[in-house]
Amino acid sequence: MKDFWNERYAESEFVYGTEPNKFFADQLKLLEPGKIVIPADGEGRNAVHAAQKGWDVTAVDYSDSGKEKALKLASEKGVEINYDLSDLAEYDFGTEVYDSAAFIYVHLPRSIIEEVYKNVIKSLKPGGKVIVEVYSVSQLGRDSGGPKDERVLYTEGNLRNLLSGTNIEWIEEMEIDLSEGKYHIGKAMVIRAVAKKG
């Protein structure tokens, strides 16, 4: 998979655009800036946006070409981000480090997804917020993006399980209009959630 993402992000254009995910940006407006971690942020559109809003940002991804583009975007926007190159399953997120975390289209094999969520939640300070937007299993058969493998898509039930250790303030499966570069475009079935670490 690493080669797939390196190849995709090696394209000259930003394949998911340079604007942040809308749900992420809307939720960020409701929070006081602090430290945020964004796993699998690829070309850095969400990390750069958060930095522009005054957050101390750490993005974690294993794509060299993604990091290169993220740092270029940050430079163009006049901000700095931390971008750690690592497999999410092996990364040390720390304990009670961050004020917020965001899972924006993070689709991983079930063998590691539970551990990644658990470690990210552990890295949040008490009261820290988790922002999630992911493709639901109902996205299968649509051409508006996302994995074609049901095993890495989400149901509301399995997302609730992954957010164990938090108080889920809001969770909903819905159809939205996506317009994020050439790979996330059209009507899509997603699950959005906001949770708070107790």
Listed by start position, the domains of the chain span 2-197
- Which residue in 59, 62, 53 sits closest to 30, CA to CA? 53
Supply the mean pLDDT for the chain.
Answer: 93
The bridge status of strand 166-180 relative to strand 98-104 is unpaired
pLDDT, residue 9, reads 57
Work out whether strand 184-197 and strand 124-135 pair parallel, antiparallel, or are unpaired.
antiparallel
Q: What is the pLDDT of residue 87?
A: 94
Taking the C-alpha atoms of residue 62 and residue 39, their distance in angstroms, rounded to an integer, is 10
How high is the pLDDT of residue 126? 98
Tens of pLDDT along the chain (198 residues) come to 656 655 665 666 776 778 999 999 999 999 999 999 999 999 999 999 999 999 999 999 999 999 999 999 999 999 999 999 999 999 999 999 999 999 999 999 988 999 999 999 999 999 999 999 999 999 999 999 999 999 999 999 999 999 999 999 999 999 999 888 777 889 999 999 999 998
Q: How far is CA 82 from CA 57, 70, 85, 102, 193, in A?
A: 6, 10, 10, 15, 25
In the 8-state DSSP scheme, what is residue 8?
H
What pLDDT sits at residue 179? 87
CATH code matching the domain that covers 2-197, chosen among 3.40.980.10, 3.40.50.150, 3.40.50.970, 3.40.50.2300: 3.40.50.150
Name the helix (H) or strand (E) containing 19.
none
Residue 40: φ, ψ to 5°: 55, 50
For position 184, what pLDDT does the model report? 83
Helix, strand or coil, per DSSP, at residue 142: coil
Map residue 192 onto helix, strand or coil: strand
